[in-house]
Structures are given as C-alpha cells and as structure tokens.
Structure 1
Amino acid sequence: MLGVLVLLLLLMPLSATATAQLCGSGGNYVANGTYESNLAALASTLPANASSSPQLFAVATAGQSPDAVHALALCRGDFASDTACRDCVAASFQHAQRACPSDKAATVYYEYDDDQRPGCVLGFSGDDGFLNPVASLTGNGTLFQAWNTGNISGVAGVVTAGVHELLTATAQDAAANTTRRYATAVMDSAPTTLYSLAQCTPDLSAGDCQACLQRLIGMVNATTSVRLGGRIFVLRCNVRFEAFMFFDRPMRRISPSSNAPAPPTGHGTRPWVIAICVAAPLALVAFCVIVYCRCLRGRRNKNGTKILRENRSYKLQEGDQELVWDMEEALSGFTIFDFHEILEATSNFSEENKLGEGGFGPVYMGHFLQGLEIAVKRLASHSGQGVLEFKNEVQLIAKLQHRNLVRLLGCCSQGEEKILVYEYLPNKSLDFYIFDECRKALLDWNKRLAIIEGIAEGLLYLHKHSCLRVIHRDLKPSNILLDNEMNPKISDFGLAKIFSSNNTEEDTTRRVVGTYGYMAPEYASEGLFSIKSDVFSFGVLILEILSGNRNSASHQCGGFINLLGYAWQLWDEGNWIDIVDVSLTPKSHPVEMMRCINLGLLCVQENAADRPNMLDVTAMLSSKTMLLQEPKHPAYFNLRVGDEEDSFATRSYSVNDMTISVATPR
C-alpha cells in the first residue's frame, strides 16, 4: 500500500475541481531509465484497455523486476462512451506525471470541474503486491477525503441516520452488482434530497467490496454526515453523497425508514405488542437452552459415562454479602493458579521482584518454571478494592482480546489473597517515560504518535467492537503498559463498567471512582458517565504525551490549575508549539503535532456532547485530510475530597497517581 508523502489538493467546496493525487513513498525513478519507459508504456495502453472493458476497469504490468511497474485504472460506472473513459485515464496519467514527477508510485482521483461528467481512479507502483485485490484493502496509504463546507439543515441525529442509511444501502447494491460493482441511489427526505454513489474495483468479491465500502462509511462521522456533500476514496473503493444529482440517473430510490419512523395508525396490532409476543417465547427458549447446556456440560465424558464437573467455584466474603463466582472452562487460555505457584514464581513476593506500587496494591514480576514471565498484581487489604472489583476485572478482561489491551493469563483467590496474573511487559508503563526528564527523550514523535493511535484503537474496541460495551473509567499513563516494541496496551479494568451492546447512553453512579486529573467533569461532579468519559481521559493523555507534563502539575502550566487551561490559552493565541515537549522537534512534524493538540482539546471539551466518539477520533488520527473542528473552551474543575455537601457519594482522587476511593458521608 502506498505511503502518503504529499497531498496536493487543497480542500475546497465540491463544486470546484476535485482532482487529487497522492504521491507515494516508493522512491524516485531515474530519468530516461527502464522504469520510466515501462511507465510510459502503461500510459499508452492502459487508457484504451480500461475503456474497452465492459467493466471499465483494467490492471496491467510492464517490465520485469526491479523495474516493473504495476497499474490500475477504474472509470466510474456511468460513463456514456468508451472515449470519455479513455480520455479520463489518459488525463490522470498526465496529471500524475506533472504533480508527482519521477515518483515511482502515485494515486490520482480525477473528477471534472462541472461534477456532471464521471471521473476515474488511477494508481501505479513498483510494489509487487500493488495489484493484489485483498492485500490492498487495508491501510490508509491511498485514502482521500473531501467535504462540502455547507451543512444540511435539520436535526443532526436524524440527518446522520439518513446519510448512513443511504450510503449503507448503496454499498450493498454496489457489492451485489456482479458486472461493475457500482450503484447509485436517491433518498427523498426533508429538508434535502440526497444522492449517493458507491463503487469497487470489479475484481473484488462481493464480501470484500462490502467490507471496503463499510470501512469508508464508518469514517462518515457525526461531523461530516451533516455536510451538504462528501466523498471518500481508497484505491479499491469509494463512496460519495451530494445534495444534487451528480450522476446520470439513480439506480434505486430509498425511503428514509430509520430516521422517519411511521407513527402507529391505531388499527391492527401495535408494534410493541408484536415485539413482546415475539421476544417472550424467544427468551424462554434461549433460557432453556442455556440451562440445558450448563447442566450437560462436563457431566459426561466422551464415552457417555456420567462424571462430576470439576469444582471451580470460590465463595468470596465481603461483609455480610456472599458471592459465588463460577469461572467458566470456556475461557480459553485462562488459568486459576494456586497461591503456592504464585509464591514460588515471585520468590515469596520479594522486594527484588517488585515492579511498582499502584492504588490497589503492589505489582511483582514472576517466572514460572517453564520460562514464562508474568506480572502479578496483589490486591492490598487496605486498597479499597473489594471482591466486586476483583471479580469484575477477571470476568471482563478475560473475555477481551485486542492487541492494545493487556492480556490476563489467570488469577488466584485463596482466603484473603486476591491476585491477578498478567502477561509481563518489559517496558513498564507510559508514565515511566513521558514524565521523566531523561527517559522522555527515548520517545520520539513517531513513537508518541503510534502510542496515541494504539490507545485510540484499544478504546474503540472497548466502546464499539468488543463482545461487550466497556467504559474503562480510569484511563491514565500508569495504566498504559508498553511491550517490547513500545506498543501500548490498556490495563487495569477493576473500575470498568459493562453495558449491553446497544447501550451507549449516560448512566449515573453514587460511587465516583477514578483518578483526579483524568475524570470528566460531569462524572466527577454529578456521577454521570458514558463513553465520552473515556474520551475526556484520552484527551488528557494526548496533551500529556505531547507536552511531557502532568495535567495536575500547575507549576509547569503557566500558573493555570491544569494542563488543559494552559494548552487552551496557547492554542487560542496561536502559540500551540510552546506546549510541545522540548525533547521533540516541532519543526519536523508541525502539521501532525498541531492536529493532535486540536484533537486533544476536542476530547476535553466541557460538554460531553461536544466531544467526538472514539470512531471519530480514530478517523481523525488516520486521515491527514479530514477537517477538524475548532475546539471550544475546555473543562475546568477542581475536585475536592471530603466536601460535606456531597451526599451519598464515593469520591476518588489520586495521590502519586494511585487511584483511591474515599467514602463521603451525608
């Protein structure tokens, strides 16, 4: 996949020219050399090959390695003549050679000024895998986005739902079109009629086409979906929507069912009655199946003889409440360790093996006899974390699998001992580096950006893509561990909250837990938490990673109460560069750094509704062309512990970055 070095298109209203080119990182070819002659040969033959194809699509290779050139051309599915398609591909070659002189790789998205004539896509590279249809689906090397500066009038949520419904239906039609993998549609919805287009290269399977298009549709977020038009391209697929008909004719008319549900008529069976009648027997059947499977599992061996199930139940006491925790055998890779195994692995919790001290107790390094290195978290009796938190972390993290989440290997619960056993990550935690004057120099800009992106991917998995919906509630540098290659892994799920797959709304708790400086203001003051609570913490992390300063270190924040206020002042004055860590070189990556500060400030806005979700965040991080909104004034709050006016609340604050819960009576 091409690595983007230059984006020569300046974003502008979509009525203007939309021709754009991405010049690749494959190096330069020698003038009058073999590579240039092979490229010229493709420029002379590929336009005719694409225009003569029933699919308006062609791939070709000219020459032999190491000077082989691979190319792809795709004309839009509504070209009226072969000549027009040929001319578009030929013009794309000419545009690439002018804009990316001597570049071995380039991608061109060619659209005409008047928006009424179809455009085309051209890509070429010396990379052997360039023409592999599946391998080229991933990555953002050929990603391009452009958005109209005007907005659709109406309720934002309704508009967003309508745009997503329209694009999703169009994508399904394109994937099902076996000839050209192309489809158009129109949706008549108040106040604006919307038109859409989706297309894939015809060599993709229906499933791969659908996956490629859905990835692009996922980038249409709450901000961009209300624009009067927009387009997203990658080499193998593209989507577009407008408030005017920019193609020959729509292939399908879509009714806006999701954003304009029909009211009940008063006749016939009401929808809620149908739902209850259908759901009740299904729930009963599901319950019976679950009970039957639990009874059957482990009762018989492979010969059919009845056997006793291994007893993995632990009775845990907390006050007068007895909890029975049944660890399921279905959790593959999870082990319940004997306490003596842990003692042996950690040399009886020796000081030499101690890695650090957290709010919930000490963490030790350990070695099992087979050579496996582990990190052992031993819950301290005075920590305030009880059985519920311990059980929560085990049951939760054992079911979550992602490269940016720490892996829980097992646990131990015997008597008063409650122990969690993790994979050992040798590079400790993020705070070990970014807040140390010597070690922070080990993290250059590329490493810091990769850490930010990895944390974002882990949070997106927790919020949207895992089997559960998880709010971490204690995201901070000490809970970001680093592996051998400095890849980040989110850890410490003792305070996490789990929701059903469809619940993303705010919830309220009387027990506010977390770390001062990272808690969203609505959570710290009112106990309101949602996925936007984690987004706030992530924004604080971004600013700390960029600056190398703690949010709560007011003496390093120009006299402000926290880093957020200092960052906002510098941003507002246009002096954002002053917040960047002196160990970095801002002049080498000014655009990326400025975008990250912009994103960090968007995440820490006072109103939760103003913050982006993690899907929006990852899209902003992955695209250098997406327009970012100007942030509003960030949240300022000073959480006080022991305020007698707080009622029925449990407040949490941080001392030396340890999470502590303090009960505050009425």
Structure 2
Amino acid sequence: MAMVTVVLGALLLLLGSGGLAPFRASADVFCDNLKLVATALPRNISTSPVHFATTAFGQAPDVVYALALCRGDVVNGTACGECVASTFQRILNWTPPPDPPAQCYRAFYYYADPCPVFYTTEDIITPTNDTAASPFVKWNEKNVTGDVDLVVGLTQKLLVETVDRAATATPGRFATGVMDSGTAYPLVYSMAQCTPDLSAGDCSVCLRRLLGMVNSTMVLRMGAQIHVVHCYFRYEAYQFYDSQPMLSLGPASAPALTPAMEKNKRHFSKLWAIPIVLFPLAAGACLCFVLYSRQKKMQRKVATWLLNMLPRAWQLWNEERWNELVDSSLLPKDHSEEMVKCINIALLCVQENAADRPTMSDVIAMLSSEPIILAEPKKPAHFNVRVGNEEESVVTESYSVNDMSISVTIGR
C-alpha cells in the first residue's frame, strides 16, 4: 500500500507539472524502445558494483533515457536486478495513457524504495540536468510529540550529518543514521543517497538543496522523503531500511562550568567577538562587490543601485544559479559549500519582511555552526521596484515603479 501511495503521488506530481506527456509515437516506436530498455537495465544493474545503471536507446523523438538505482543496503546484485525488473513490469502494466492507441507513458518517475526507476524522452542521465528539477516530496502526516525542541534539534543534526556522510561515502554515495532523543519519543532513522556518478561536491549540493526544504515548520513532522532523480533523503520514526545505521546520535551531556571555566569562556568570547561580527558584514560586502563587478556599465547612486542588485541576487539564487554571483576566479570547487552558505545568510538578512530577517546573534550562530540547516531566503525588499535604463540612470538618476512581479534591469 505504501508503495502504491508513493507511485500515485509521483503520478499526481508529474501530471501537475507536465512530467507525464503521453502521446502516440510513430508506429509505437517509443513503447518498443521502452520494452527493450526494461529488459536491458535490470541486467546491467545486477552486474554493477554500485548497483546503478543508465541507458539511452533509440532516436529522437522516440529516444528513451532511463536510470535505475538500488538503495545502498541492497547488497545482492541479483536481488537488485530483480527489483528493477519488477518495477519495470509494474510500470508497463500501469493504466494505459488516456489517449488511445498510445500504449506507454512518455515519462515515468517511480520514487519507491528500494529501487527507484526513471525514464523519459529528455536527458535525465546527465546530473547537471537535475539541478532545477521539481522534487517529489512526501511528508509524514503526524507531528513530533514530547520534548519538541530537543527532538527537532537532534533530527536536524541527524539529517545534516547523514547527508554529509553520504556525500563523502565511496563508492556508493549512501549513508544511514539513527537518533535517540533519550526520551519516550521513538528512535528516528535517516537515509541519504546520491547516484554514484556524482562527485562528493555535487552530491552535497544536491542533497543540501533538498534539505533546505525542511524548514522550521516542516521539521515538526515525524518524517519525510524528498527526491530528485540523482539524489534523495528520507527520515522516519521507524526503521525503513535493512542495514544497521552507519552513524548514531544521542542527547548531548555537557559538564557544568566551574567559575574558572566560565571566566575563561567570557574572555574567549571577547577575543572572538570582533572577527565573528565582521563575518556577516564581509559576506554582505563580498556579495555587493561581486555584483558590482558584474554590472560595470550601471552607474547609479548606492541606494538606487541596491534596488537592482538585491532582486537580481535573489533571482539567481532562486534559479539555482548562485555561482553567477561569484567571479569565476573566486570559485574553487573545494569551497563552494562555504560560498553557498555565505550567500544564503546574506540574502536572509535583506528579506522584505523585517520579522523574517535573522538577528545579529542568529547570524553569528549560523556562521559559526557547522553543520547547519539554513532557511530558504524570501524575496528582498524593493523586489518590485524597477530602475530605468542605463542612459536614463546616467543623466537623471531616477527610477520608476513597475507592477510586474519580476522586473530587474541588467546591464549588458
């Protein structure tokens, strides 16, 4: 029943987003290609050491791109291949498309453990094509009970550590964990996985993008699973995988501070107060500087200039194009996570609603905490204000209000 629910959820998601696009192929070539893929992919994945396989078969417009991945705790290759074959059989026997005589759906995303299977007419094999995909999300309907703050805090830490472990795990990009709150609340189990063709950095970016959807409201749920083709994670208040958890978390127990320790702590805090406070200022300054260097033709006063820069920054962030905010010479892959974190925090500080902006103490905590789950920034102030064209700005330094929801002028 749970598997059927997941499949139905995927279908509803795809129907709403245009993911399922059934139509008659010439002589049903697409369906014939799909049947060949359904035979080849289980065989290929059963011999894969990482239980992952992709294939592209046929010619446009009837080409089939397909991908299958067995969960990391499925260690038997034969069992993995049989699982994928069974999944394809369910897909091929699914209710036919609503426009006869078509026999096959042109796309199908089967987000079900332990062997998700995907196929479509578009290239889903290339990992970079997954960055802007709409995730499949399923939340547990029940909320956390008992000591909510303790459970939520430990759950967030568990998810971050599980994601980080999965990103660095080789060769499978798979990790599991368990959290014991030390209370009557059930154990919380977590799992994260990427397709093995992702690098550690790309896997981390993919999973952290999904992790960002677990905001302060949704983290109160007892469980969730969030998927895109190349990565996904899940957590529940019960064990939903077969292997032993790879990491374990429990309630922290810190010893009480003695007067001498408290004095040293205050002294240490004073020593670090200035550099820590400077971090958010530096992050904001770097963001503004990088944007300015990319807009050399725009000559505006500071206040007017910011009206364009902040919406542009938020738009690029929202479109998963944050790297365009950073000069290429300042974008080493080893530090991409730190840059994402700084840009995220900077955008949180300029949100339109002042109540949504973090306090200075919040910013310090976010910058000094590792790992941490950051909220997705909302649109900045003056998002609907549009500055006039370059020629007008040089002469009059004026701006006008535009009623369009997105209206950002960018110098070319």
TM-score category (smaller protein): 0.5 to 0.7
Tell me what 1:59 maps to.
54
Give unmatched runs, 5+ long, in structure 1: 1-11, 112-118, 291-326, 336-369, 377-389, 407-460, 476-495, 506-612, 619-656, 658-666
Say if 1:405 and 1:212 are closer, same or farther in 2 by CA, change over 3 A. Answer: closer
Give 2:148's aligned residue.
Answer: 156
| C-alpha separation in 2, matches of 1:403 and 1:330 | 8
Structure with greater contact order relative to length (CA < 8 Å, sep ≥ 6): 2
Structure (1/2) with the larger strand percentage = 1
**Residues 345 and 363 of structure 2 are in contact (CA less than 8 Å); yes or no, is this contact kept in structure 1?**
no
Q: What corresponds to 1:197 in structure 2?
A: 191
Aligned twin of 2:336: none
Residue equivalent to 2:264: 273
Match of 1:85 among 80, 83, 104: 80
Residues 21-40 of structure 1, C-alpha deviations (whole Å, 9 max, x = no match): 43534442438522111111
The equivalences for 1:335-414 within 5 A come to 393=303, 397=307, 400=310, 402=312
Number of the residue aligned with 2:169: 177
For 1:208 and 1:169, the matched residues in 2 are separated by 16
Residue number in structure 2 paired with 1:146: 138
1:244 aligns with 2:238: yes
**1:256: Cα distance to partner?**
4.3
The one-letter code sitting in structure 2 at the alignment partner of 1:277 is F
> What is the CA deviation profile of residues 518-560 of structure 1, one whole-angstrom value per residue up to 9, with x for unaligned ones?
xxxxxxxxxxxxxxxxxxxxxxxxxxxxxxxxxxxxxxxxxxx
Tell me the residue number matched to 2:100.
none
Q: Distance in 1 between matches of 2:360 and 2:344?
A: 11
The aligned residue for residue 45 of structure 2 is 50
Who is 1:502 aligned against? 362
Question: What displacement does 1:501 show?
Answer: 7.9
Q: Within the alignment, does 1:227 sit opposite 2:221 as a pair?
A: yes
Q: Is the 8 A contact 2:110 2:116 kept in 1?
A: yes
Displacement, 1:162?
Answer: 1.8
- Write the distance in 2 (CA, Å) between the matches of 1:279 and 1:36: 69
Question: Residue in 2 aligned with 1:629?
Answer: none
Which residue of 7, 20, 23 corresponds with 1:28? 23
> Aligned partners of 1:220, 1:286: CA distance in 2, in Å?
27
1:466 aligns with 2:326: no
Partner of 2:151: helix, strand, or coil? helix
Larger radius of gyration: 1
Q: d(CA) in 1 for partners of 2:37 and 2:197?
A: 19
Give the structure 2 partner of residue 584 of structure 1. Answer: none
Letter aligned with residue 221 of structure 1: N
Judging by fraction of residues, say which structure has more helix. 2
User: Using the alignment, how far apart are the partners of 1:617 and 1:497 within structure 2?
Assistant: 9
Of 103, 108, 112 in structure 2, the residue corresponding to residue 110 of structure 1 is 112
- Partner deviation per Cα, 1:52-96 (whole Å, 9 max, x = no partner): 211110001112233221100001111143232122212221222
Offset, 1:134: 1.7
**In 2: Cα distance, 1:276 partner to 1:209 partner:** 40
Q: Does the 8 Å CA contact 2:133/2:228 hold for their aligned counterparts? A: no
**Pick from 56, 59, 63: which aligns with 1:68?**
63
Give the conservation status (yes or no) of the 8 Å contact 1:72–1:122.
Answer: yes
Q: How far did 1:206 drift?
A: 0.7
Q: Distance between the aligned counterparts of 1:69 and 1:329, measured in 2?
A: 42
Note closer, same or farther for the CA distance 1:96–1:281 as it changes in structure 2 (3 Å cut).
Answer: closer
> What residue is the counterpart of 2:324 in the other structure?
none
Q: CA deviation at 1:281?
A: 6.3
For 1:402, what is the secondary structure of its paired residue? helix
The TM-score with structure 1 as length reference comes to: 0.42
Which whole-Å deviations, capped at 9, do the CAs of 1:160-182 have from their partners, x for residues lacking one? 32222111100111111121111
Residues of 2 paired with 1:268 and 1:99: CA distance?
72
**Distance between the aligned counterparts of 2:290 and 2:207, measured in 1?**
38
CA drift at 1:395: 8.2
Mapped to 1, the partners of 2:232 and 2:241 lie a distance apart of 14
Distance 1:219 1:107, change over 3 A: same
| Counterpart amino acid of residue 210 in structure 1 | S
Which residue number in structure 2 is paired with residue 188 of structure 1?
180
Deviations 1:114-135 (A, max 9, x none): xxxxx111111112x3211122
Question: Are the aligned partners of 1:231 and 1:240 in contact in 2 as well (CA < 8 Å)?
Answer: yes
Give RMSD over aligned pairs. Answer: 4.4
Question: What residue is the counterpart of 1:262 in the other structure?
Answer: 254
Report deviation, 1:328: 9.2
Letter in 1 for 2:117: L
Task: Report if aligned partners of 2:348, 2:377 keep a CA contact under 8 Å in 1.
Answer: no
- Identity in percent: 32
Q: Secondary structure at the match of 2:116?
A: strand
Q: Which residue of 2 aligns with 1:137?
A: 131
TM-score normalised per structure 2: 0.65
Which range is displaced more, 148-157 or 464-473? 464-473
Provide the rounded CA distance (Å) in 2 between the counterparts of 1:616 and 1:330.
Answer: 18
